Amino acid sequence: MPTFANDPDKPESATLPRRSFMAMLGGSLLAASSSLSLAQAAEEPSQVDNLPPNTPQWMKDPGDADYKGYGQPSKFAKDIKRIEVKGRPSPLSSFSFTPLQDLRGIITPNGLFFERDHGGVPTINPDEHRLMIHGLVERPLLLTMDDLTRFPSVSRIHFLECSGNSSGEWTKPRNSIQTQYGLLSCAEWTGVPLSTLLDAVGMKPNAKWILAEGADSAGMDRSIPIEKAMDDALVVYAQNGEPLRPEQGYPVRLLLPGFEGNMNIKWLRRIKVGTAPWMTREETSQYSDLMPDGTSRLFTFAMDTKSVITHPAPDGKSIRPGTNEISGVAWSGHGKISRVDVSVDGGRNWTTAKLDSPVLPRCLTRFRLPWSWDGKPAAIASRAIDETNYVQPTREELLKVRGTHSRYHYNAIALWNIEADGRASNAYA
Ligand SMILES: Nc1nc2c(c(=O)[nH]1)N[C@H]1C(S)=C(S)[C@@H](COP(=O)(O)O)O[C@H]1N2
Ligand SMILES: [Mo]
């Protein structure tokens, strides 16, 4: 019998835990929850009765006992969604952004994983899909999915970021974390180390590069140096424990930890071993950066160190004066995050934030810092440092070196203004 919290004879004990928590937050919770209940009462009159010390309706009614073969989020969380942009630059091209402002921890749920498709999402029957490994090899292979899953496998947690993430920040910063920073996600990937497959085919001594090709209508292909292929590259078929989602490359994709999203070929059908890069469209006209002196940066594979505050953030909930937690994610394509500093005065002073464990290489790292907000306008920022001692640059530093002709690889410090009403906005927008 659930008596304690609902015993109308003991209103004091029933409200005590709530009061002490309130005291910690500066006493503002009571006011907030009563105004919330009034707002709800206007919409759904019965809901006010669900608040303490009453027994809520959901303890009086039997719960939903319907069998759900595949579970869905609560209907109260239905607004947590990707945002899709379609038709740019071609009708089949699309991308969708992860709602970073609504996520906690480091793992992106599969249904919210960002998406970038150049030729639409193919519908691939795994029984009819093959992975070919050929070129400068002793024993070319044509693998079925059953063949692939018989190889020894590993599971690893890695971020994936499109090199076009935050591209708007170069010249047209927008007041949104989701559409400016949301081409970033992180998952636990399961598959076969690419080195295992390359060992199985036996590479010839002059092998230096591999070409990876997708089975989508874009036939996307990229050249990858053999060092990466033999280091931590994975041929993955599972994402957060379940089969890859169609959008992420079902039934199999290449995962190059820390390397720009574009090289992580989805719907992987072919790996060719060769001596030199193939200079495909994606690595020449695209995904190269025009520098101020008119030259182009080619083959900038590893994503540079970056971080962003996700709470509070534009698109997210506004904060109230008193105790708050500043929290966000940091990542580096070069290894582990070693430190994240947070500023609440626009970058003049910095405090080192706490990093959640585990801190893994080429993986999102969650940082947190308690912050007592006095209710006055503030400007908050995070600065990540990785194990190679690379320090995330300010916007001014980055633009000074790279100019403003780039469309890719923007990794500067983000600055959020906190307005007097507690809302966060992009200071550069
Ligand atoms: N075959 C194929 N692979 C692809 C793409 C594609 O369109 N086709 N898009 C690339 C780009 S630009 C990125 S950023 C990542 C996005 O991976 P995701 O959609 O799983 O987030 O996949 C890459 N691999
Ligand atoms: Mo991308």
Tens of pLDDT, residue by residue, the chain (429 residues): 233 233 333 333 333 333 343 444 443 443 344 444 444 444 455 556 999 999 999 999 999 999 999 999 999 999 999 999 998 888 889 999 999 999 999 999 999 999 999 999 999 999 999 999 999 999 999 999 999 999 999 999 999 999 999 999 999 999 999 999 999 999 999 999 999 999 999 999 999 999 999 999 999 999 999 999 999 999 999 999 999 999 999 999 999 999 999 999 999 999 999 999 999 988 887 888 889 998 888 888 999 999 999 999 999 999 999 999 999 999 999 999 999 999 999 999 999 999 999 999 999 999 999 999 999 999 999 999 999 999 999 999 999 999 998 889 999 999 999 999 999 999 999
Q: Looking at ligand 1, which atom is closest to the CA of residue 95?
A: 19
Specify whether the CB–CB gap between 133 and 114 falls below 8 A: no
Q: Is the peptide bond before 173 cis (omega within 30 degrees of 0)?
A: no
Rounded to the nearest whole angstrom, what is the distance from the C-alpha of residue 264 to the centroid of ligand 2? 9
Distance 90 CA to ligand 1 centre (A): 15
Question: Can you tell me the distance from the alpha carbon of 230 to that of 241, in angstroms, rounded to the nearest whole number?
Answer: 24
Residue 340 β-bridge partners: 384
The answer, yes or no, to whether any atom of ligand 1 lies below 6 A from the CB of 282, is: no
Contact 363, 357 (CB under 8 A): no
String of DSSP letters for 33-64: HHHHHHHHHHH-GGGGGGSTTSPPHHHHSPPP
Task: Tell me the pTM.
Answer: 0.89
Tell me the pLDDT tens digit for each residue of 68-121. 999 999 999 999 999 999 988 888 899 999 999 999 999 999 999 999 999 999
CA separation for the pair 405, 79 (Å, rounded):
35
Q: Quick one: which atom of ligand 1 is closest to the CA of 185?
A: 21
3 state SS of 87: coil
Q: Could you tell me the strand order of the sheet in which 322-331 lies?
A: 306-311, 322-331, 365-373, 354-355
Q: Is the CB of 115 under 6 A from ligand 1?
A: yes
Q: Ligand 1 pocket check: which of 85, 95, 118, 263 to mutate, most ligand atoms within 8 Å of Cβ?
A: 118
Residue nearest to atom 5 of ligand 1 (CA): 117
The pLDDT, as a whole number, for residue 19 is 36
CA gap 330, 383 in Å, rounded: 8
Q: What is the pLDDT of residue 283?
A: 87
